[in-house]
Chains A and B, each alone.
Chain A
Amino acid sequence: MFIINCPYCGERDQTEFSCGGEAHIERPKQPTELSDDQWAEYLFMRKNIKGIQFERWNHIHGCRKWFNVVRDTSNDKIHAVYKMGERPPIK
């Protein structure tokens, strides 16, 4: 039960949020030009890291905004929070 610092609302309990999986996977602009394999890569392949992971989160029971979170999955420490479209503040 961690605390997430929503970039729009501030610190809130995890129960107010829902996780949307790995961040920075952009929907291809021209899906029809992709091979089956390329499309499958976008559709299905996700990282499952023990350690630093970039994730999408939604303040679903709050402002309903989506944003990005950098979380260490081994101890749930959150290293950064930033808005959609922004570059990750850490590598």
Chain B
Amino acid sequence: MSNNLRINKNNFIDQTVRISFKFNGKKLFGYKGDTLASALLANNIHLVGRSFKYHRPRGIMTCGSEEPNAIIQVGKDPALTDPNVRATEIELYEGLEAFSQNCWPSVNFDIGGINNFLSPLLPAGFYYKTFMWPASFWEKYEFFIRHSAGLGKSPTKPDQDLYDHQYVHCDVLVIGGGISGILSAKLSAEKGLNTILIDDKSYLGGSTIYQDDDIFKINNETSNVWLKNQIEKLKRIPNLTIKNRTSVAAFHGYNYLLARENLTDHLSAHERKGKIRQRLLKIRAKKVVIATGAIERPLIFSNNDRPGIILSSSIKKYIDYYGVKTGENISLFTNNDSAYETAISLNKSGVKVKVIIDIRENPSSILSEKIEKTGIKILRGYTITNTDGYKRIKSIDVMKLSKDGGSVIGKKVTYKCDCLGISGGWTPMVHLFTQSGGKLKFRNNDNVFIPDENKTPSEQISVGSSNGDFELDDVINNTVKNIKIFLGLDKNKYENLDIKCSKEKQKRNIWLLPSNEAISKTKPFLDFQNDSTAKDVKLALREGFKSIEHVKRYTTTGMGTDQGKLSNMHALGIIADTTGTNMGELGTTTFRPPYTPLTFGAIVGRNVGEFFDHTRRTAIHDWHVENKAEFENVGQWKRPWYFPKNGETMYEAVQRESKAARVSAGILDASTLGKIDIQGEDASEFLNRVYTNAWSKLAIGKCRYGLMLNEDGMVYDDGVTTRLGENHYIMTTTTGGAANVLSKLEDYLQTEWPELNVYLTTVTDQYSTMSICGPNSKKIIKKIIPSLDLSDESFPHMSFKNSKIDNVNCRIMRISFTGEHSYEINVQSNYAKDVWERCIEAGKEFNITPYGTETMHLLRAEKGFIITGQDTDGTLTPSDLQMDWIIGKKKYDFIGKRSLYRSDTIREDRKQLVGLLTDDPKEVLEEGAQLVESLEKPIDMLGHVTSSYFSPNLNKSIALAVVRSGKKLKGKKLIVPMENKNINVTITDTVFYDKENKRLNA
């Protein structure tokens, strides 16, 4: 370590705790309290990365979240490595390993640096202009562009860290722990309000906490001492919660905010074990105080991007807070007073300040007078026209500015330096305010956008420099005054503080500083990460881009990871100057969340892996697992898909199961079907209105299939409903439709038909359903319930009986979705597995075969039964499905009835459900395949295949399809064109098997 870069006097860095870390493989040392950036600077390392487009060497430029250059990769563990981390924000810990990004083979020798020499060939919009044509070549270009672009590397293995979410409620949320935030939090908490104070740093106090010059005094104490005492008192207030290392990412409507709390990123690997890495706070605050401060602006001049060029206020922080000299021979360049504060700090620490270049003619203030006494040279009304030095700044060229600031005059003077501090004034951090919906107003005298207090969307207030107050007395007095009104406070002790500070007398702002060279030969960078220059913005304007949003996208200004925190204002200023408009009228680009990048881990929290979504399992699930079922996801349900035996493929298993169900007996777990219990004296009338067919005359103990439409006449859901009693029905819905059908029915009952006395209860989970089908199903039921009369006279198809299996009540329906003689047993779910096992036991002698959803689909397709959602897609009417028989012609009204004879729904050339047989009975069609009449171009698409199987019971391929005018086309030959062949098919009836329904009573 170059010890001479670290000064000894320091209150914030613990120089007794030495920390070792690695940067680009080199072992280095820092101290407890350092950030990676301060530790690198203490080791005299400025060059940390390469820029995005030209691969220019770039150094640490700031000390906070606005850092555009020092974007690094932390760690190399394939599961834990973290890309695009700002070196200025990461706290140093033992064993930290960091790497430069966007350079190859190394940051010191980077092949992409050749782009710098090609830069005249790479203007704004270069990629858009060059790779536009021919369009088909984009795929080829893309590979190379993607390859050379990109910042950090993503982890390649799953993240092992733990993340958490927490809901937080408070009376007052204060964002920002600088002096205005601390005063606000204190006033709020002392009033007894439940208050939270959030700051993204590890400490409180903002920039005032290291402001120790006696120019800045509060009640006769230097401002840092006074503030430190306030913070000590603050920490003892019980109804105040302080969250350090926490960054507010988003400010939504109704004072709903998201904040990320970093819990372990500052700890060494072994200290992190078993701890939660980050917590996403979901905060609902009654009132919000934004005290997020301001960010210093750079100045825009040629080659303003060299390593060693740092924001002036950051140089001050590195020396005053971290005790790190950013150079041995520093010059400062400014348009305002803050650089003089930096000069005072450097001077006190014994760092040589060669020259201060100030673009103002008469910047006299307490600060500048103090500097003059030290003998530091001040050049007033001058500007820097160029800089030199490749991997570190070596010198600056200085010339006098003309009166209007539009050009330079006189002789060029060159000064040597190894570090240049730049200060272009301050930009209030209004991101969160605008995210919440607030509107900004422009203050002309110092060119800042500040919150418009009349256009504030919720109970919130901006204070301090985020509200445009930059001097100590203004910050304190305005904060106290405004918070008093905002929180309705009485008189308080902060109202009459004795505050001493320097006041800025003169302001002068030039967005793009002039040079003695033609602009085409200069490189005045605006967006350091994306390498967009003032030239690019001017080019965009020449090419006709006028809106700031368009210029931003065309030049990529403000689109890096810093999202334009540093120089968006300069881009706006240059646009305003060039087009002769006022910046206030131009407006800003939109600030979108997150304020600083969030990890995916924090966003998803614990909702990963099996917790990503709910999993619903039937009461019989364990039996399916034991019997080696393959499962299919149906909504959130896990349904057995098929039960492979002895290494069968899915096809083989389904063929076996389908055959067994028709030859002897099959059993299906149908518990996932939605079940709605319907009671009330108007239940029959209600069913009349929601189903297309008539229900009033359905006898107690009978079942009926119903089709439910939307008001637009399209089929929505279907299922069998059973009349259990005079005013009592049980409705079944499709598995996927259960929740939506219930909601729809509730909607009609509450809003359209409140006069109906009907009660709906979902009982999907309370009852389990097993369906036993096949010619031997009757014998199996007889074995389980010997007392039950199963004769067709007593228990015909589409009827139901209450019964008991031992002492377990069950409802038995004789209904069929396979076309076979079959029964559905419904029992309370906690008995379901037992009853299922008894069915299996009783069915053994009949080779009862458990089958899954795939066999169920095949068997119903043989019968031409539809599955809503597979054969329908919300565009088919009952008539389109050839189900006109289910429309209650005599009914006055039901949901969707009027739509069934709209001009569009009575068209004869609508797509209609048909059956398909392939000419080659072995050829199975692909579901979704298109149907055409001829292959002559242009080819007219007539429809598509909706269901397709090889039927083992018919020994041929069968399919259902929707085809334009399909009803009229029976016997017609069509073609299914596939990638490498054309399949000939014939349109048929939709029922393929047992057209006379003889098997239902077999």
Give the B-binding residues of A (Cβ under 8 A). 1-3, 13, 20, 26-28, 30-32, 34, 36, 39-40, 43, 56, 58, 60, 64-66, 75-76, 84-85
Residue in A closest to B437 when the chains form the complex, CB atoms? A75
Interface residues of B in 893-907 (CB under 8 A from A): 893, 897-899, 902-903
Contacts of A27 in B (CB 8 A): 711, 752
User: Bound state CA distance, A66 and B743, in angstroms?
Assistant: 10
The interface bits of chain B over 876-908 (1 if a CB of A lies within 8 angstroms of the residue's CB, else 0) are 000000000000000011000111001100000
Chain B nearest CB: distance from A63 CB in Å? Answer: 11
- Pick the residue among A30, A43, A65, A84 that contacts B899 (CB under 8 A): A43
Q: Nearest-CB distance from B280 to chain A (Å)?
A: 14
A43 proximity list for chain B (CB < 8 A): 711-712, 899
Measured between beta carbons, the chain A residues less than 8 angstroms from B254 are 1-3, 76
* Minimum distance in angstroms from A19 CB to a CB of chain B: 12
- Return the contact of B253 from the options A1, A26, A32, A39 (Cβ within 8 A): A1
Tell me the nearest residue of chain B to A66, going by C-beta.
B750
Given A32-B892, A66-B750, 20 further pairs, Cβ under 8 A = A1-B254, A1-B256, A3-B254, A3-B284, A27-B711, A28-B898, A31-B898, A32-B893, A32-B898, A36-B903, A39-B902, A43-B712, A43-B899, A58-B743, A65-B750, A66-B751, A75-B253, A76-B254, A84-B750, A84-B751
Contacts of A60 in B (CB 8 A): 743
Complex Cα gap A85–B460 (Å): 36
CA distance A34 to B893 in the complex (A): 12
In contact, A75 and B457 (Cβ under 8 angstroms): yes
- Whole-angstrom CA separation of A13 from B284 in the bound complex: 10
B294 to chain A, nearest CB (A): 27
| Residues of chain B contacted by A85 (CB below 8 angstroms) | 754
Instruction: State how many angstroms separate the Cβ of A89 from the closest Cβ of chain B.
Output: 18
List 15 A–B pairs whose Cβ atoms lie within 8 Å, in order of A's numbering.
A1-B253, A3-B284, A30-B893, A31-B893, A32-B897, A40-B902, A43-B712, A58-B747, A64-B746, A66-B750, A66-B751, A75-B437, A76-B254, A84-B750, A84-B751
**Taking beta carbons and an 8 Å cutoff, which residues of B are in contact with A?**
252-254, 256, 284, 437, 457, 711-712, 743, 746-747, 750-752, 754, 892-893, 897-899, 902-903
Q: How far is the CB of A20 from chain B (nearest CB, A)?
A: 7
Contact A31 B747 (CB under 8 A): no
Cross-chain contact A2 with B750 (CB below 8 angstroms)? no
The interface residues of chain A lying within 8 Å CB-to-CB of B751 are: 56, 66, 84
Instruction: Give CA–CA (A28, B754) in the complex, Å.
Output: 15
On whether the beta carbons of B743 and A34 are closer than 8 Å, the reply is: no
Inside 8 A of A2's CB, which chain B residues have their CB? 253-254
A65 closest partner in B (C-beta): B750
Tell me the complex Cα distance, A35–B175, Å: 59
Chain B residue, CB-CB nearest to A84: B751
Chain A positions within 8 Å of B898 at CB level: 28, 31-32, 34, 39
| Complex contacts, A1 vs chain B, CB 8 Å | 252-254, 256
Contact A31/B897 with A1-B254, A3-B254, A39-B902 known, Cβ cut-off 8 Å: yes
User: With a CB–CB cut-off of 8 A, which chain A residues contact B457?
Assistant: 75
Min CB distance A12 to B, Å, is: 11
Q: What is the minimal beta-carbon distance from B935 to any residue of chain A, in angstroms? A: 38
Q: Nearest Cβ distance between residue A58 and chain B, in whole angstroms?
A: 7
Name the residue of chain B whose CB is nearest to the CB of A23. B751
Nearest chain A residue, comparing its CB with the CB of B457: A75
Nearest Cβ on chain A to B701's Cβ, whole angstroms: 31
Nearest residue, chain A, Cβ from B746: A64
For A76, the chain B residues whose CB sits under 8 A away are 253-254
Task: Give, as a whole number of angstroms, the nearest-CB distance from B170 to chain A.
Answer: 15
Q: A83: nearest residue on chain B (CB-CB)?
A: B750
What residues on B are CB-neighbors of A20 within 8 Å? 747
Please, how many angstroms separate the alpha-carbon atoms of A64 and B739 in the complex?
12
Q: Distance (Å) between the CB of B674 and the closest chain A CB?
A: 16
- Pairs A-B, 6 closest by C-beta atoms: A31-B898, A1-B256, A2-B254, A66-B750, A27-B752, A76-B253
Which chain A residue shows the least CB distance to B902?
A36
Name the distance in Å between A24's Cβ and chain B's nearest Cβ.
Answer: 10
Which residues of chain A have C-beta atoms less than 8 A from B743's C-beta? 58, 60
Residue of A nearest to B749 (CB): A66
Q: Which residues of A contact B752 (CB under 8 A)?
A: 26-27
The residue in chain A whose Cβ has the minimal distance to the Cβ of B250 is A1
Residues of B within 8 A of A28 (CB): 898
Check if A66 sits within 8 Å of B747, measured CB to CB: yes
User: Which residues does chain B contribute within 8 Å of A40, judged by CB atoms?
Assistant: 902
* Minimum Cβ distance to chain B for residue A44 (Å): 8
Q: How far is the CB of B358 from chain A (nearest CB, A)?
A: 44
**Which residues of A are found within 8 Å of B899, using beta-carbon distances?**
39, 43
Closest to B893 in A: A31
A20 to B711, CA, bound (A): 15
A76–B253 CA distance with the chains assembled, in angstroms: 8
Task: Identify the interface centre among B284, B754, B897, B898: most chain A CB within 10 Å of its CB.
Answer: B898
B residues less than 8 Å from A75 (CB atoms): 253, 437, 457
CB of A83, distance to nearest CB on chain B (Å): 10
- Report the separation of the CA atoms of residues A84 and B45 in the bound assembly, to the nearest whole angstrom: 69
| A22 CB, min distance to chain B CBs, angstroms | 12
Docked complex Cα distance between A50 and B71 (Å): 42
- Shortest beta-carbon distance from B451 to chain A in Å: 16
The interface residues of chain A lying within 8 Å CB-to-CB of B903 are: 36
Cα(A88)–Cα(B747), bound, Å: 19
**Chain B residues whose CB sits within 8 angstroms of the CB of A32 once the complex forms:** 892-893, 897-898
Question: How far apart are the CA atoms of A20 and B747 in the complex, in Å?
Answer: 9
A13 to B252, CA, bound (A): 13
Tell me how far the C-beta of B689 lies from the nearest C-beta in chain A, rounded to whole angstroms.
10
CB neighbours of B711 from chain A (8 A) = 27, 43
**Smallest CB separation, B676 vs chain A (Å):** 13
List residues of chain B with CB within 8 A of the CB of A3: 254, 284
Who on chain B is nearest to A42 by CB? B711
- Per the bound structure, the CA–CA distance linking A76 and B746 in Å amounts to 27
Q: In the bound complex, what is the Cα–Cα distance between A26 and B752 (angstroms)?
A: 7
For A33, the closest partner residue in chain B by CB is B898
Give complex CA distance A32, B889 in Å: 12
Q: How far is the CB of A34 from chain B (nearest CB, A)?
A: 7
Q: What's the minimum C-beta distance from A57 to chain B, rounded to whole angstroms? A: 11
CA distance A26 to B711 in the complex (A): 13
Report B-chain residues with C-beta under 8 Å of the C-beta of A65. 750
With the chains together, A76 CA to B437 CA distance in Å? Answer: 10
Residues from chain A with Cβ under 8 Å of B747 in the complex? 20, 58, 66
Which residue of B253, B284, B712, B754 has the most chain A CB atoms within 10 A of its CB atom? B253
CA distance A20 to B457 in the complex (A): 25
Q: How far is the CB of A49 from chain B (nearest CB, A)?
A: 18
Closest A residue to B258 by beta carbon equals: A1
Cα distance A27–B689 when bound, in Å? 13
Minimum CB–CB distance for A69 against chain B, Å: 14
How close is B310's CB to chain A, nearest CB, in angstroms?
40
Give Cα A1 to B902, complex, Å: 40
Residues of B contacting A64 with CB < 8 Å?
Answer: 746
Per the bound structure, the CA–CA distance linking A75 and B437 in Å amounts to 8
Instruction: Give CA–CA (A32, B897) in the complex, Å.
Output: 8
Nearest CB in chain A: distance from B852 CB, A:
32
Query: Can you name the residue of chain A whose Cβ is closest to the Cβ of B905?
Result: A36
In Å, the complex CA distance between A31 and B437 comes to 44
In the assembled complex, the Cα of A30 lies from the Cα of B892 at a distance in Å of 9
A30 to chain B, nearest CB (A): 8
Assembled-state Cα–Cα distance A40/B256 (Å): 40
A55: min CB distance to chain B, Å: 13
**Bound state CA distance, A32 and B892, in angstroms?**
8
Q: Check if B256 sits within 8 Å of A84, measured CB to CB.
A: no
Which residues from chain A contact B256 at a C-beta distance below 8 Å?
A: 1
| CB of B928, distance to nearest CB on chain A (Å) | 29
A31–B894 alpha-carbon span in the complex (Å): 9
Contacts of A58 in B (CB 8 A): 743, 747
Q: State the CA gap A31–B743 with chains docked (Å).
A: 23
Complex Cα distance, B254 from A36, in Å, reads 43
List chain B residues, Cβ under 8 A from A36: 902-903
In the assembly, what is the distance between CA of A84 and CA of B754, in Å?
10
Closest to B255 in A: A3
